[in-house]
Structure 1
Amino acid sequence: MLEDGLYEQLVNQLLKEKINDGSKIVDTRELSEEDASRTLSRYVAEVVELGMNSCNNVSSKIQMANNLIENLQLQTNENSLSSFAIPLEKINDKGTVGALELLSVSGRENNVRTVNDNVKPVRPQTSLVESSLFTGSEKEPSMFAELQKEILTADRIDMLVSFIRCAGIRLIYDQLKLFTGRGGKLRIITTSYMGVTEAAAVEKLAELPNTEIKICYETKHVGLHAKAYVFCRNTGFSTAYIGSSNLSQKAISYGLEWNLKITRKELPETFDKVEETFDIYWNSSDFEIFSLDGKSRLIQALKQEKQRGSSILKGGCYLFEVRPYNYQQEILDKLQAEREVRNNYHNLVVISTMIIMQSLATQAFSALLRG
C-alpha cells in the first residue's frame, strides 16, 4: 500500500500494480523527452547499485559494470562507449583483482623522477564527487581546514560573503597567498552592510596578486546575505560550499553554522547556477570594484553603517529611498528616449495603483527589517 503524499519517481512494474488497484487517487505525468536521459539514468543507477550489493567481491561488480557498458555500446552503436570499460587490475602482491581510482595528476619537470614523487598531494578530506554537510560537529572536518585544502587544489576561486573579518582571513591567508602566487585567480564579493566587515581585512586580501574584490555599498536596497565559496578545477572536479558561514573566525571554525558542500560531478545543473549567479552579481552595477587607492570610501561606508544602527527615525517616520524595480526602470528609460530622442513630451503610462502601493510598501518593509 502506497503512503498518501507527494512522489516523483518512475512507474516501474511494482508501482504499476500498486497504483492500478483502484484504492487511491493517483496523479501521474508523461516522462518528457527533455528529462528522459537524466531521469532514466538516475533510476538505472539506483537499480544497478541494488544489484551490485548482491555481488560478493569487487571484481564481480566490475564485470557487471562492464557488461552494462557493452550492452549500451551494442544497442546504441556508439563505439566510443567501449573505451569506458573498466580494466581489471592486480591490486597487490596477494593477487587481489580490482579497479583503480585516479586521485591526482601533476607535472614532472623534464619527465625526471624526483624525491617528491612519493609525496601525496594535498586534497580535501571530503569527497570531490559526493555532497556533504558541515554542521560544526566534532565528528566532521572543520570548515576552515577543508577550505585550506580546497584553496590549495583549485584553479579559480570565487567567494561571496556578507562580512569579512581579519580573524577569519588569518585562518586561510597563507593558502590564499600560495594560490594567488602561483597564478590562481581569486574573486570576492562582499558588502559594507551593518559595518561588520573590517576594512583591514579587505585591504589585506586586495594586496594579494591576481585578486579582485567588489563591494556593495548600496545596502538599503541590495540585501546581500548569501555565503558561498566556489572552487573551480580544470579537471572538472569543482566544489562549492553554500550555507551560513561568513569569512570570520567563529563562522568557519567553531560556530554553529551549516554549510552544504556540493560537487559539479553530482549536481552539474546546480553548480552551473551557482557560477552563473555569481557572474550576474559580479557584472551588476550594484557591486563596485575595490582598489587600495579607494579604501577611504570603504572606511567611510562602514562607519556610516555602524552609525545608522537601526533605521534612522526622524519625526516619527522611517526615511528610505524609493528606487525603481527593473521593469519600472525600463518604462522610465523608454519615456526618456521619447523625450530626448523623438522630442515627444505627451506620453501616457497606465499602471495599477495597487502595483505602486505594493512597490512602496515592499521597500518600506525592507527598510524596517534592515533596521
Structure 2
Amino acid sequence: MKTQGVLEDIVVIDLTQALAGPYCTMMLGDLGADVIKVERPGSGDMARGWGPPFLESESAYFLSVNRNKRGLTLNLRSSEGVATMHRLIEKADVFVVNQPRIESLRRMEIDYGTLQGINPHLVYCSITGYGMTGPYAGRGGYDVVAQGESGLMSITGEPEGGPIRYPIPIADITAGIYSAFAIVAALLARERTGEGQFLDMTLLESQVAWLTNVAGGYFATGKRPPRLGNAHPNIVPYQPFKAKDKYIIVGVGTERLWERFCRFLGIEDTIMVDPRFATNRDRIEHKAELIPLLDEIIGTKAAESWLSQFTAAEIPCGPINYVDETINDPQVRTRGMIVELEHPLIGTVRSLGNPLRFSATPVTYRLPPPTLGQHNEEVLVGLGYTEAEVEKLRREGVI
C-alpha cells in the first residue's frame, strides 16, 4: 500500500534563497509537499555560487538544502513573469519568501495583500532577519549577525576567551525549522477556518528563543550569563573529559547517576563523601576543585575502554566524533540519516536525511536538488500553458 506524506497534495511556492528559506521548504518537501523553487533566470539562488566545494557546476552548499523541489526560473521584473507567478499562486497552498523590504515585494506584486487577494486561502510565510515591524524592520538578515545580536556568541567559548560563532549556521537553520512548524500549524488552522494567514518569521527571534535556560537564569538573578566553555551552567559533571587518547563526553545529570559514577571510578570513599561534592549545588560551587580530580582519573585509560564500561553501567557518555565518523556511525546509518539521490549532472548525490519519524506517513526523498530551471516546461504546462507559450516565455527572457 502506498503511504502518503503528511503534506501530500500541498503546493508550496518557494521564492527563497541562501539557507533559512530553502531549509524550511526542503522540510516541507520531505513531508510530501509539491515544492516549486522559483529562481531568477541566468543566476538563480545565490547559494548556487557558494563554494568550494562544487560537484560539477553545483555547489555542495546548494545541494545540501534543496532536494524534493521542482525548479522554475521566472523574471519577476517583467509583467509576464508577475502574471505567471500570480497563476502559480491561484493553485498554491503556501508561499515562502525571504525579502525584508515591503516596498520591493509590492513593486513585484508579491506582497501579502496582493497575493491574499488572488488566493485568500494562501499561507504566506515571510522569513527575514528582523520581521516586518520594530526598529530593525527592513534590514537584511545574516546568520552571523543574528548569532551575535541574540546573545548566543557571548555565552559560547572559554571563560577567558572571546565570543565564538557557531560553525553551523544555526540562525538560518532554526529559522527554517520554526518556519516549517509555523506553516504546518497554519495549514491546520486553515482546515478549521478556511482562511490563510501571514507568518512573520525571523532569524533574530529564532535565536533569542534558544536562550531558554540561560535567559531563565538571567531572569532569576539579573546577572549577565558568562561564557562557560564546554561546562554546563547548572549540572556537574556534564562536559568533555580527556581520556588517554582522545576526548569523551560524560553527562551525570542526577544524584543517583553521581553515586553510580563515583562507585564505578572507585572514588565512593573519597570524592563521593567529600562534603564539597555532596549535591549538585555543592558540585557547582566547587567545580574548579572537582573537575581536575576527575580529569586525572579519566586520563588513565583509553576512550574506548571508558565508553564501553560507562555504557555497560548506564552512565550517559559518548565519543566526540569527527564529521566523517558521524556520517559512518552505525546508528546514524541504520536510522536512515544519509540520503542518496540521482542528480542529472552529477550522478549520486548524498545529503543528510530528515530526523522526523512517522509510523504511518513517513518522510520521502523523491527528487534531487533541481538544476536551474530544470522543470520550467513541466510546471508551466501543468498551469495550462501550451508548449508554444512556454517557448515564447523562454525567448522573451521571462523564464
State the TM-score, normalizing by the size of structure 2: 0.27
Structure whose alpha-carbon radius of gyration is higher:
1
State the TM-score, normalizing by the size of structure 1: 0.28
Larger RCO, structure (CA 8 Å, separation 6 or more): 2
